[in-house]
Structure 1
Amino acid sequence: MAHKYLIIKAFEKAFVELEQQGIKKPSKQKRAELLSDYVKEVSDFHLGEKTYRNYYNDAVKKLEEVDDIQINSEVVAGLCAYLNYKSYQEFLKETPLQIKKSKFQLLKPHQKYSWVLALILLCVTFFIVAYWTHPEQRWMIWNEDHYEEVNFDPKIYKAGMLEIYHEENLNNFKKLKVNCDTRFFSAEGDVMVWYGKSKEGALECFTAPGLHPKTGKTLKKITHYMIDKYICSSDLDDLK
Protein backbone atom coordinates (compact mmCIF):
# COMPACT_ATOMS: atom_id res chain seq x y z
CA MET A 1 0.00 0.00 0.00
CA ALA A 2 1.24 3.48 -0.79
CA HIS A 3 -1.65 5.74 0.06
CA LYS A 4 0.66 8.13 1.92
CA TYR A 5 2.76 8.65 -1.21
CA LEU A 6 -0.37 9.17 -3.31
CA ILE A 7 -1.81 11.96 -1.15
CA ILE A 8 1.57 13.72 -0.85
CA LYS A 9 2.11 13.68 -4.61
CA ALA A 10 -1.42 14.99 -5.16
CA PHE A 11 -0.84 17.87 -2.72
CA GLU A 12 2.45 18.72 -4.43
CA LYS A 13 0.77 18.82 -7.87
CA ALA A 14 -2.01 20.98 -6.41
CA PHE A 15 0.63 23.37 -5.06
CA VAL A 16 2.13 23.80 -8.54
CA GLU A 17 -1.25 24.23 -10.24
CA LEU A 18 -2.41 26.87 -7.78
CA GLU A 19 0.87 28.77 -8.17
CA GLN A 20 0.34 28.73 -11.94
CA GLN A 21 -3.08 30.29 -11.32
CA GLY A 22 -1.40 33.19 -9.54
CA ILE A 23 -1.78 32.06 -5.91
CA LYS A 24 1.50 32.57 -4.05
CA LYS A 25 2.45 29.76 -1.67
CA PRO A 26 -0.96 28.02 -1.68
CA SER A 27 -2.00 26.86 1.78
CA LYS A 28 -2.85 23.27 2.65
CA GLN A 29 -6.48 24.32 2.85
CA LYS A 30 -6.46 25.70 -0.72
CA ARG A 31 -4.79 22.54 -2.00
CA ALA A 32 -7.25 20.35 -0.10
CA GLU A 33 -10.19 22.30 -1.53
CA LEU A 34 -8.87 21.81 -5.07
CA LEU A 35 -8.49 18.04 -4.56
CA SER A 36 -11.88 17.72 -2.86
CA ASP A 37 -13.60 19.54 -5.73
CA TYR A 38 -11.75 17.48 -8.35
CA VAL A 39 -12.62 14.10 -6.81
CA LYS A 40 -16.25 15.16 -6.39
CA GLU A 41 -16.38 16.25 -10.05
CA VAL A 42 -14.95 13.03 -11.50
CA SER A 43 -16.60 10.54 -9.16
CA ASP A 44 -19.59 12.28 -7.53
CA PHE A 45 -18.04 11.28 -4.16
CA HIS A 46 -17.57 14.14 -1.72
CA LEU A 47 -15.36 14.54 1.32
CA GLY A 48 -14.66 17.93 2.85
CA GLU A 49 -11.30 19.64 2.53
CA LYS A 50 -10.61 18.96 6.23
CA THR A 51 -10.52 15.21 5.56
CA TYR A 52 -7.97 15.71 2.78
CA ARG A 53 -5.81 17.81 5.10
CA ASN A 54 -6.01 15.07 7.72
CA TYR A 55 -4.96 12.50 5.12
CA TYR A 56 -1.99 14.67 4.18
CA ASN A 57 -0.93 15.37 7.78
CA ASP A 58 -1.08 11.65 8.62
CA ALA A 59 0.93 10.83 5.48
CA VAL A 60 3.65 13.31 6.43
CA LYS A 61 3.90 11.83 9.93
CA LYS A 62 4.17 8.28 8.62
CA LEU A 63 6.35 8.90 5.59
CA GLU A 64 9.44 7.28 7.13
CA GLU A 65 7.46 4.54 8.88
CA VAL A 66 6.50 1.15 7.55
CA ASP A 67 2.82 1.71 8.30
CA ASP A 68 0.65 3.26 5.62
CA ILE A 69 -2.47 5.40 6.00
CA GLN A 70 -5.93 4.32 4.88
CA ILE A 71 -7.74 6.45 2.29
CA ASN A 72 -11.27 5.93 1.00
CA SER A 73 -11.24 3.89 -2.24
CA GLU A 74 -13.20 6.53 -4.19
CA VAL A 75 -10.70 9.16 -3.14
CA VAL A 76 -7.80 6.90 -4.17
CA ALA A 77 -9.31 6.50 -7.64
CA GLY A 78 -9.93 10.25 -7.93
CA LEU A 79 -6.40 11.17 -6.85
CA CYS A 80 -4.94 8.68 -9.34
CA ALA A 81 -6.97 10.35 -12.10
CA TYR A 82 -5.76 13.76 -10.90
CA LEU A 83 -2.16 12.53 -11.19
CA ASN A 84 -2.91 11.15 -14.70
CA TYR A 85 -2.77 7.48 -13.73
CA LYS A 86 -5.34 5.10 -15.22
CA SER A 87 -5.49 3.06 -12.01
CA TYR A 88 -3.96 2.69 -8.56
CA GLN A 89 -2.01 -0.32 -9.84
CA GLU A 90 -0.40 1.88 -12.50
CA PHE A 91 0.51 4.40 -9.81
CA LEU A 92 2.19 1.65 -7.77
CA LYS A 93 4.21 0.46 -10.77
CA GLU A 94 5.49 3.94 -11.64
CA THR A 95 6.13 5.14 -8.07
CA PRO A 96 9.44 4.09 -6.47
CA LEU A 97 9.21 2.46 -3.06
CA GLN A 98 11.41 5.22 -1.65
CA ILE A 99 10.30 8.64 -2.88
CA LYS A 100 11.83 11.98 -2.08
CA LYS A 101 10.47 13.82 0.93
CA SER A 102 7.93 16.52 0.28
CA LYS A 103 9.66 19.85 -0.25
CA PHE A 104 6.72 21.65 1.35
CA GLN A 105 6.31 20.06 4.79
CA LEU A 106 9.17 17.70 5.64
CA LEU A 107 12.00 20.06 6.50
CA LYS A 108 13.95 19.35 9.68
CA PRO A 109 13.43 21.82 12.55
CA HIS A 110 16.67 23.75 12.02
CA GLN A 111 15.99 23.88 8.27
CA LYS A 112 12.53 25.30 8.95
CA TYR A 113 13.94 28.11 11.08
CA SER A 114 16.57 28.98 8.47
CA TRP A 115 13.96 28.96 5.72
CA VAL A 116 11.59 31.17 7.72
CA LEU A 117 14.38 33.66 8.52
CA ALA A 118 15.39 33.83 4.87
CA LEU A 119 11.77 34.37 3.86
CA ILE A 120 11.36 37.20 6.39
CA LEU A 121 14.50 38.94 5.12
CA LEU A 122 13.31 38.54 1.54
CA CYS A 123 9.89 40.02 2.37
CA VAL A 124 11.44 42.97 4.21
CA THR A 125 13.72 43.66 1.25
CA PHE A 126 10.80 43.39 -1.16
CA PHE A 127 8.65 45.86 0.76
CA ILE A 128 11.50 48.35 1.12
CA VAL A 129 12.17 48.26 -2.62
CA ALA A 130 8.45 48.40 -3.39
CA TYR A 131 7.99 51.41 -1.14
CA TRP A 132 10.76 53.45 -2.74
CA THR A 133 9.99 52.47 -6.32
CA HIS A 134 6.17 52.52 -6.08
CA PRO A 135 5.20 54.86 -3.24
CA GLU A 136 1.60 55.20 -4.43
CA GLN A 137 -0.35 51.96 -4.31
CA ARG A 138 -2.94 51.46 -7.04
CA TRP A 139 -6.29 49.76 -6.40
CA MET A 140 -9.08 48.08 -8.32
CA ILE A 141 -12.60 46.84 -7.63
CA TRP A 142 -14.85 44.17 -9.16
CA ASN A 143 -17.81 45.67 -11.01
CA GLU A 144 -20.38 43.02 -12.08
CA ASP A 145 -18.27 41.30 -14.77
CA HIS A 146 -14.86 43.03 -14.82
CA TYR A 147 -12.28 44.89 -12.73
CA GLU A 148 -12.00 48.68 -12.71
CA GLU A 149 -9.18 50.82 -11.34
CA VAL A 150 -10.34 53.13 -8.53
CA ASN A 151 -8.89 55.50 -5.96
CA PHE A 152 -8.42 54.31 -2.42
CA ASP A 153 -11.57 54.58 -0.31
CA PRO A 154 -11.33 53.62 3.41
CA LYS A 155 -14.99 52.54 3.56
CA ILE A 156 -14.72 50.28 0.52
CA TYR A 157 -11.41 48.90 1.79
CA LYS A 158 -12.93 48.10 5.20
CA ALA A 159 -15.78 46.29 3.44
CA GLY A 160 -13.19 44.05 1.76
CA MET A 161 -14.07 45.15 -1.77
CA LEU A 162 -10.78 46.82 -2.74
CA GLU A 163 -8.01 44.75 -4.32
CA ILE A 164 -4.41 45.68 -5.08
CA TYR A 165 -4.08 46.71 -8.72
CA HIS A 166 -3.16 43.85 -11.03
CA GLU A 167 -2.82 44.87 -14.67
CA GLU A 168 -3.31 41.38 -16.10
CA ASN A 169 -6.56 40.87 -14.16
CA LEU A 170 -7.74 44.37 -15.08
CA ASN A 171 -7.26 43.68 -18.79
CA ASN A 172 -7.93 39.97 -19.14
CA PHE A 173 -10.12 38.74 -16.27
CA LYS A 174 -13.82 38.93 -17.21
CA LYS A 175 -17.01 37.06 -16.31
CA LEU A 176 -18.58 35.29 -19.28
CA LYS A 177 -22.11 34.48 -20.31
CA VAL A 178 -21.76 30.97 -21.71
CA ASN A 179 -23.89 28.54 -23.68
CA CYS A 180 -23.30 25.49 -25.88
CA ASP A 181 -21.90 27.69 -28.65
CA THR A 182 -19.20 29.25 -26.44
CA ARG A 183 -15.62 28.43 -27.41
CA PHE A 184 -14.28 26.70 -24.31
CA PHE A 185 -11.05 25.29 -25.80
CA SER A 186 -8.46 26.52 -28.27
CA ALA A 187 -7.69 24.73 -31.51
CA GLU A 188 -4.83 23.00 -29.67
CA GLY A 189 -7.18 21.83 -26.93
CA ASP A 190 -6.07 24.32 -24.28
CA VAL A 191 -8.65 25.50 -21.76
CA MET A 192 -9.98 29.02 -22.37
CA VAL A 193 -12.65 29.16 -19.63
CA TRP A 194 -12.52 28.70 -15.86
CA TYR A 195 -15.52 28.29 -13.57
CA GLY A 196 -16.68 28.61 -9.99
CA LYS A 197 -19.87 29.06 -7.99
CA SER A 198 -21.35 32.30 -6.76
CA LYS A 199 -22.31 32.79 -3.11
CA GLU A 200 -25.80 31.69 -4.13
CA GLY A 201 -24.47 28.49 -5.75
CA ALA A 202 -24.87 29.50 -9.38
CA LEU A 203 -22.29 28.45 -11.98
CA GLU A 204 -20.16 31.37 -13.20
CA CYS A 205 -17.48 31.31 -15.90
CA PHE A 206 -14.43 33.51 -16.39
CA THR A 207 -11.82 34.20 -19.06
CA ALA A 208 -8.74 33.50 -16.90
CA PRO A 209 -7.61 31.42 -13.90
CA GLY A 210 -7.42 32.84 -10.41
CA LEU A 211 -9.81 33.44 -7.51
CA HIS A 212 -13.52 34.04 -7.74
CA PRO A 213 -13.87 37.84 -7.24
CA LYS A 214 -16.77 37.43 -4.79
CA THR A 215 -16.14 34.17 -2.90
CA GLY A 216 -12.32 34.10 -3.01
CA LYS A 217 -12.31 30.41 -3.96
CA THR A 218 -9.96 29.06 -6.62
CA LEU A 219 -11.50 28.80 -10.08
CA LYS A 220 -11.28 25.47 -11.87
CA LYS A 221 -10.60 24.61 -15.50
CA ILE A 222 -13.74 23.90 -17.47
CA THR A 223 -14.19 20.26 -18.49
CA HIS A 224 -16.35 18.48 -21.04
CA TYR A 225 -18.16 16.89 -18.10
CA MET A 226 -19.14 20.29 -16.68
CA ILE A 227 -20.14 21.62 -20.10
CA ASP A 228 -22.38 18.64 -20.88
CA LYS A 229 -23.95 18.40 -17.44
CA TYR A 230 -24.46 22.04 -16.47
CA ILE A 231 -23.99 24.43 -19.38
CA CYS A 232 -25.62 22.55 -22.23
CA SER A 233 -28.38 21.32 -19.94
CA SER A 234 -31.56 23.35 -19.65
CA ASP A 235 -31.73 22.66 -15.89
CA LEU A 236 -29.10 24.44 -13.81
CA ASP A 237 -30.94 24.04 -10.52
CA ASP A 238 -28.75 21.07 -9.61
CA LEU A 239 -25.94 23.49 -8.85
CA LYS A 240 -27.90 25.22 -6.08
Structure 2
Amino acid sequence: MLKELLHQLFVKLENEIGNNKKSKNGNAIYFVEEILENQFKKPSFISSKAIKGYYDKYVEGKENNAGEPSIELKDLISKYLGYEHFLAFETQNKATNFFNVKKSKITLLNYSLTALLSLTLIVAFYKIYLANKNDDCVIWQFNHYEKVNCDNQFAIQKPTDINIEKFNKVNVNDSTIFFINNKPIIWYGKSVKGEIEFFNARGTHPITGKELKPVTSYIINKYVYKQ
Protein backbone atom coordinates (compact mmCIF):
# COMPACT_ATOMS: atom_id res chain seq x y z
CA MET A 1 0.00 0.00 0.00
CA LEU A 2 3.02 2.32 0.38
CA LYS A 3 3.48 2.25 -3.37
CA GLU A 4 -0.09 3.45 -3.91
CA LEU A 5 0.24 6.08 -1.17
CA LEU A 6 3.41 7.59 -2.61
CA HIS A 7 2.14 7.30 -6.17
CA GLN A 8 -1.01 9.26 -5.33
CA LEU A 9 1.07 11.78 -3.38
CA PHE A 10 3.29 12.61 -6.34
CA VAL A 11 0.36 12.68 -8.76
CA LYS A 12 -1.39 15.28 -6.60
CA LEU A 13 1.82 17.27 -6.12
CA GLU A 14 2.31 17.27 -9.88
CA ASN A 15 -1.07 18.96 -10.29
CA GLU A 16 -0.60 21.61 -7.60
CA ILE A 17 -0.95 25.08 -9.12
CA GLY A 18 1.80 26.50 -6.94
CA ASN A 19 4.26 23.75 -7.86
CA ASN A 20 6.48 25.26 -10.54
CA LYS A 21 8.95 22.36 -10.66
CA LYS A 22 7.22 19.39 -12.27
CA SER A 23 9.80 16.73 -11.40
CA LYS A 24 10.46 14.21 -8.65
CA ASN A 25 12.82 16.60 -6.89
CA GLY A 26 10.46 19.52 -7.41
CA ASN A 27 7.50 17.54 -6.11
CA ALA A 28 9.43 16.39 -3.03
CA ILE A 29 10.60 19.95 -2.28
CA TYR A 30 7.07 21.33 -2.70
CA PHE A 31 5.68 18.70 -0.32
CA VAL A 32 8.25 19.44 2.38
CA GLU A 33 8.23 23.24 2.12
CA GLU A 34 4.61 23.99 1.23
CA ILE A 35 2.58 21.08 2.55
CA LEU A 36 4.45 19.92 5.65
CA GLU A 37 5.95 23.23 6.79
CA ASN A 38 3.22 25.70 5.80
CA GLN A 39 0.03 23.63 5.74
CA PHE A 40 0.69 21.13 8.54
CA LYS A 41 3.14 23.33 10.49
CA LYS A 42 5.82 20.64 10.53
CA PRO A 43 9.11 22.46 9.89
CA SER A 44 12.21 20.30 9.59
CA PHE A 45 10.03 17.20 9.85
CA ILE A 46 11.75 15.40 6.96
CA SER A 47 13.99 16.29 4.02
CA SER A 48 12.89 16.39 0.40
CA LYS A 49 15.71 13.94 -0.34
CA ALA A 50 14.12 11.41 2.00
CA ILE A 51 10.71 11.87 0.35
CA LYS A 52 12.27 11.32 -3.07
CA GLY A 53 14.09 8.25 -1.71
CA TYR A 54 10.80 6.72 -0.59
CA TYR A 55 9.31 7.34 -4.03
CA ASP A 56 12.31 5.79 -5.78
CA LYS A 57 12.17 2.71 -3.58
CA TYR A 58 8.47 1.98 -3.28
CA VAL A 59 7.10 3.32 -6.58
CA GLU A 60 9.95 2.88 -9.05
CA GLY A 61 11.46 -0.18 -7.36
CA LYS A 62 14.98 1.25 -7.06
CA GLU A 63 17.21 -0.16 -4.37
CA ASN A 64 18.39 2.42 -1.84
CA ASN A 65 18.87 2.92 1.89
CA ALA A 66 15.43 4.40 2.46
CA GLY A 67 13.58 2.58 5.20
CA GLU A 68 9.84 2.64 5.74
CA PRO A 69 8.08 5.97 6.29
CA SER A 70 7.04 6.62 9.87
CA ILE A 71 3.43 6.23 10.92
CA GLU A 72 3.18 10.00 11.39
CA LEU A 73 4.47 10.67 7.88
CA LYS A 74 2.04 8.16 6.40
CA ASP A 75 -0.78 9.84 8.30
CA LEU A 76 0.29 13.30 7.07
CA ILE A 77 0.46 12.12 3.46
CA SER A 78 -2.96 10.47 3.85
CA LYS A 79 -4.45 13.70 5.26
CA TYR A 80 -3.00 15.64 2.33
CA LEU A 81 -4.71 13.17 0.01
CA GLY A 82 -8.05 13.73 1.77
CA TYR A 83 -8.15 10.83 4.25
CA GLU A 84 -8.43 10.98 8.02
CA HIS A 85 -5.29 8.90 8.48
CA PHE A 86 -3.26 6.16 6.81
CA LEU A 87 -5.53 3.38 8.07
CA ALA A 88 -8.48 5.02 6.33
CA PHE A 89 -6.43 5.36 3.14
CA GLU A 90 -5.38 1.74 3.36
CA THR A 91 -8.91 0.45 4.00
CA GLN A 92 -10.53 2.41 1.21
CA ASN A 93 -7.86 1.67 -1.38
CA LYS A 94 -7.85 -2.03 -0.56
CA ALA A 95 -11.59 -2.07 -1.22
CA THR A 96 -11.12 -0.11 -4.45
CA ASN A 97 -8.36 -2.45 -5.60
CA PHE A 98 -10.49 -5.46 -4.71
CA PHE A 99 -13.40 -4.24 -6.82
CA ASN A 100 -11.07 -3.23 -9.65
CA VAL A 101 -9.51 -6.69 -9.66
CA LYS A 102 -12.93 -8.30 -9.47
CA LYS A 103 -14.17 -6.07 -12.28
CA SER A 104 -11.09 -6.92 -14.34
CA LYS A 105 -11.69 -10.63 -13.79
CA ILE A 106 -15.34 -10.26 -14.78
CA THR A 107 -14.32 -8.24 -17.85
CA LEU A 108 -11.73 -10.86 -18.76
CA LEU A 109 -14.32 -13.59 -18.27
CA ASN A 110 -16.77 -11.72 -20.50
CA TYR A 111 -14.10 -11.30 -23.18
CA SER A 112 -13.25 -15.00 -22.91
CA LEU A 113 -16.89 -16.05 -23.18
CA THR A 114 -17.43 -13.68 -26.11
CA ALA A 115 -14.34 -15.02 -27.86
CA LEU A 116 -15.43 -18.62 -27.21
CA LEU A 117 -18.94 -17.91 -28.48
CA SER A 118 -17.56 -16.17 -31.57
CA LEU A 119 -15.22 -19.09 -32.28
CA THR A 120 -18.08 -21.56 -31.84
CA LEU A 121 -20.27 -19.60 -34.25
CA ILE A 122 -17.46 -19.34 -36.79
CA VAL A 123 -16.86 -23.10 -36.65
CA ALA A 124 -20.60 -23.78 -36.93
CA PHE A 125 -21.04 -21.44 -39.91
CA TYR A 126 -17.95 -22.92 -41.55
CA LYS A 127 -19.37 -26.42 -41.18
CA ILE A 128 -22.68 -25.26 -42.63
CA TYR A 129 -20.81 -23.55 -45.45
CA LEU A 130 -18.87 -26.73 -46.24
CA ALA A 131 -22.03 -28.81 -46.08
CA ASN A 132 -23.84 -26.45 -48.42
CA LYS A 133 -20.81 -26.13 -50.64
CA ASN A 134 -20.44 -29.88 -51.00
CA ASP A 135 -24.16 -30.19 -51.74
CA ASP A 136 -24.24 -27.25 -54.14
CA CYS A 137 -22.44 -28.79 -57.11
CA VAL A 138 -23.68 -30.89 -60.00
CA ILE A 139 -22.41 -32.71 -63.04
CA TRP A 140 -24.19 -33.31 -66.36
CA GLN A 141 -24.70 -37.00 -67.09
CA PHE A 142 -25.92 -37.64 -70.66
CA ASN A 143 -29.42 -36.23 -70.25
CA HIS A 144 -29.77 -34.98 -66.66
CA TYR A 145 -27.96 -33.34 -63.74
CA GLU A 146 -26.64 -35.28 -60.76
CA LYS A 147 -25.55 -33.84 -57.43
CA VAL A 148 -21.88 -34.42 -56.65
CA ASN A 149 -19.29 -33.29 -54.14
CA CYS A 150 -17.76 -29.98 -55.10
CA ASP A 151 -14.32 -31.60 -54.94
CA ASN A 152 -15.15 -33.51 -58.14
CA GLN A 153 -12.95 -32.15 -60.93
CA PHE A 154 -15.91 -32.01 -63.34
CA ALA A 155 -18.33 -30.45 -60.87
CA ILE A 156 -19.97 -27.11 -61.54
CA GLN A 157 -22.00 -24.84 -59.30
CA LYS A 158 -25.65 -25.81 -59.30
CA PRO A 159 -27.50 -23.57 -61.78
CA THR A 160 -29.87 -21.19 -60.03
CA ASP A 161 -32.22 -20.67 -62.97
CA ILE A 162 -33.42 -24.27 -63.35
CA ASN A 163 -34.83 -27.10 -61.27
CA ILE A 164 -32.11 -29.72 -61.62
CA GLU A 165 -34.45 -32.43 -60.31
CA LYS A 166 -36.75 -32.02 -63.32
CA PHE A 167 -34.47 -30.61 -66.00
CA ASN A 168 -33.75 -33.22 -68.71
CA LYS A 169 -32.66 -33.49 -72.29
CA VAL A 170 -35.45 -35.22 -74.20
CA ASN A 171 -35.74 -37.13 -77.44
CA VAL A 172 -38.53 -35.76 -79.59
CA ASN A 173 -40.45 -37.10 -82.59
CA ASP A 174 -43.58 -36.29 -84.56
CA SER A 175 -45.79 -37.53 -81.69
CA THR A 176 -44.18 -35.32 -79.04
CA ILE A 177 -46.42 -32.66 -77.50
CA PHE A 178 -44.59 -29.36 -77.93
CA PHE A 179 -47.33 -26.91 -76.89
CA ILE A 180 -50.07 -26.71 -74.28
CA ASN A 181 -52.61 -23.93 -74.77
CA ASN A 182 -50.35 -22.58 -77.50
CA LYS A 183 -47.50 -22.20 -75.02
CA PRO A 184 -44.21 -24.08 -75.60
CA ILE A 185 -43.27 -26.77 -73.10
CA ILE A 186 -40.08 -27.78 -74.92
CA TRP A 187 -36.90 -25.70 -75.27
CA TYR A 188 -33.98 -26.17 -77.60
CA GLY A 189 -30.36 -25.22 -78.07
CA LYS A 190 -27.31 -26.20 -80.11
CA SER A 191 -24.68 -28.61 -78.84
CA VAL A 192 -20.95 -27.97 -79.17
CA LYS A 193 -21.19 -29.87 -82.48
CA GLY A 194 -23.96 -27.58 -83.73
CA GLU A 195 -26.69 -30.18 -83.37
CA ILE A 196 -30.15 -29.16 -82.15
CA GLU A 197 -30.99 -30.65 -78.73
CA PHE A 198 -34.30 -30.45 -76.91
CA PHE A 199 -35.03 -30.02 -73.19
CA ASN A 200 -38.16 -30.24 -71.07
CA ALA A 201 -37.64 -26.92 -69.27
CA ARG A 202 -36.18 -23.51 -69.83
CA GLY A 203 -32.67 -22.68 -68.65
CA THR A 204 -29.17 -22.80 -70.08
CA HIS A 205 -27.55 -25.50 -72.16
CA PRO A 206 -25.68 -27.78 -69.71
CA ILE A 207 -22.58 -27.92 -71.92
CA THR A 208 -22.38 -24.63 -73.82
CA GLY A 209 -24.00 -22.51 -71.11
CA LYS A 210 -26.09 -20.63 -73.68
CA GLU A 211 -29.70 -19.68 -72.98
CA LEU A 212 -32.21 -22.20 -74.32
CA LYS A 213 -34.98 -20.96 -76.58
CA PRO A 214 -38.66 -21.95 -76.58
CA VAL A 215 -39.47 -24.29 -79.42
CA THR A 216 -41.26 -22.89 -82.49
CA SER A 217 -43.19 -24.44 -85.35
CA TYR A 218 -40.31 -23.54 -87.64
CA ILE A 219 -37.81 -25.50 -85.51
CA ILE A 220 -40.21 -28.45 -85.27
CA ASN A 221 -40.77 -28.58 -89.02
CA LYS A 222 -37.08 -28.19 -89.78
CA TYR A 223 -35.52 -30.55 -87.24
CA VAL A 224 -38.28 -32.95 -86.12
CA TYR A 225 -40.76 -33.64 -88.89
CA LYS A 226 -38.10 -33.96 -91.54
CA GLN A 227 -36.75 -36.96 -89.64
TM-score, with length taken from structure 2? 0.40
Larger Rg: 2
TM-score, with length taken from structure 1? 0.38
